[in-house]
Structure 1
Amino acid sequence: MKQILAPVLSALLLTATALPALAAEALSATEFESYVKGKTLYFGKAGQAYGVEEYLNNRRVRWSFLDGKCKDGYWYEEAGQICFVYEDTPDPQCWSFFKEGEGLRAVFQNDPSSTVLYEAQQDDEPMMCLGPEIGV
């Protein structure tokens, strides 16, 4: 029995000690900017389409929940997180971004248990924004 358990325990111990080395580190502001600048990224949440963001020059962004209504903003790095401020929301929304496979995973740091987004698609074309709503 000892001869059978020893290799299993050794393998488990080796795997457990290797896990921290495999843990992904959040992208720095420089890495994030290098990845997103000039692109339009579509994000999904729990297998559903969630939103799209266009990354412009000078760390400016344009976001939409895929409804054609766009809001402009900008991003900056603070304490290792990427924080966004939009024209209609003065409070920063901070995220940690991780490069995984061919895309990004984004974890909302204001409430990490509530929102994790995944890059679903990437495009070099600007996103679609409808004009301002004009009422009577």
Structure 2
Amino acid sequence: MSAEEFDSYTRGKTLFYGQNGASYGAEVYMDNRRVRWSFLDGQCKEGEWYEEAGHICFVYDDNPDPQCWTFRKEGSGLVARFQNSPGTTDLYEADDLGQEMICLGPEIGV
């Protein structure tokens, strides 16, 4: 998918991703290519995405190293392939993982 196609498909949505039949994570796609990612563990990462050399690359506030993917529309959703580590299993857009994307506040010690 091109950046325009990806933005048109994702903007304003929360997409849940699965891998090998199990939940992997979820991402909220906001305006101005901003995103919020979670491995569905209550911890969320803020970031943004951009297109580079035909890939959709994500950088997050806690990690400036780009995480680049290719996306394609297949069936009723997206399939994502991680480009930083060829040979990894694809992620697929899952309709219902039976989980919710919850972002807990920062951990505060006593």
TM-score of the superposed pair, with normalisation by structure 1: 0.75
Cα separation, 2, equivalents of 1:115 and 1:101? 18
Instruction: Please name the residue that 1:121 is paired with.
Output: 95
Instruction: Please name the residue that 1:7 is paired with.
Output: none
2:16 maps to which of 18, 23, 42: 42
Aligned residues: 107
Give the secondary-structure state (helix, strand or coil) at the position aligned to 2:108: coil
Instruction: Please name the residue that 1:56 is paired with.
Output: 30
Instruction: Please name the residue that 2:56 is paired with.
Output: 82
Instruction: Give identity over the alignment, percent.
Output: 68
More strand by share: 2
Contact 1:54–1:127, Cα closer than 8 Å, also in 2: no
Amino acid at match of 1:110: N
2:73 maps to which of 94, 99, 108: 99
Contact 2:40–2:101, Cα closer than 8 Å, also in 1: no
Name whichever of 108-117 and 91-100 sits farther off: 108-117
Instruction: Please name the residue that 1:20 is paired with.
Output: none
2:40 maps to which of 59, 66, 83: 66
The CA deviation at 1:51 is 0.1
The CA deviation at 1:128 is 1.9
1:132 maps to which of 94, 106, 109: 106
Q: Deviations over 1:48-107 (max 9, x none)?
A: 100000001100000000001000000000000000000111100000000001100000
Cα separation, 2, equivalents of 1:37 and 1:77? 15
Q: Deviations over 1:20-60 (max 9, x none)?
A: xxxxxxx0000000000000000001111000000011000
Cα separation, 1, equivalents of 2:101 and 2:46? 12
Q: Any unmatched runs of 5+ in structure 2?
A: none
More helix by share: 1
Runs of 4 or more, structure 1, over 2 Å off, are: none
Give the secondary-structure state (helix, strand or coil) at the position aligned to 2:59: strand
TM-score of the superposed pair, with normalisation by structure 2: 0.93
